[in-house]
Amino acid sequence: MNRHKQPPAPLVLASGSPRRLALLDQIGIIPDRLLPAGIEETPERKELPRSMARRLARTKAEVAARAAGRDPALEGAYVLAADTVVAVGRRILPKPEVTDEAAACLRLLSGRAHRVYTAICLLTPKGATRQKLVESRVRFKRLSRSEIEIYLASGEWQGKAGGYAIQGRAGAFVVKLIGSYSNVVGLPLFETMNLLAGEHFDVYERWTEPAA
């Protein structure tokens, strides 16, 4: 009797972030579809950083799940979403799109510690919702005016939580990191793998393929 292996369930990533896509690719996971959720990312009144990250990750997942539900090819899909928040104390830093906003972030982070929270939300084919929040602590060197100006000129900060990208030039500003590096980039890999594996997604399907 021929036994055919059941095709794996599709994986939808509720993001268009090249960083999150690259991180998943690093551990051998390639989403079947990218469905970025264009939602409002402004903090609610008196909202704390942890709560904001959880809320936005879940909202992104739900928006992407509704979009996936309209595509028969994505029937029975897992939907993975994440949101990263940078905070100094209770103050939530923006994801700046203009230079002045990014400069304000860098001046605030200069010479001090801050926290990076990434919330992951996974919606399963069986309708379950699984969430995980990961926290890392980062300390920046004291930045000179010229260092800030040169970094701003790079444009690397655009759309990044806190106005910097640790995987880029801003890595040179980091004096100390406690916790997950991939969390600061935008997707904590250990926790993401555990979340997917715990819901029976085959996280090792492509590990036997030759590395690129």
Amino acid type, 28 = G
pLDDT digits (tens, 9 = 90+) for 54-93: 999 999 999 999 999 999 999 999 999 999 999 999 999 9
Any idea where the domains of the chain sit in the sequence?
Answer: 11-198
Q: Which residues pair with 178 in a beta bridge?
A: 137
Q: What is the pTM of this model?
A: 0.91
d(CA 4, CA 176) in angstroms, rounded, equals 51
Specify whether 100 is catalytic: no
Name the catalytic one among 32, 83, 100, 202. Answer: 83
More confidently predicted of 208 and 188: 188
Mean pLDDT of the chain: 92
Amino acid type, 73 = A
CATH class of 11-198: alpha beta
**Count of CB atoms situated within 10 Å of the CB of 47:** 15
More confidently predicted of 43 and 8: 43
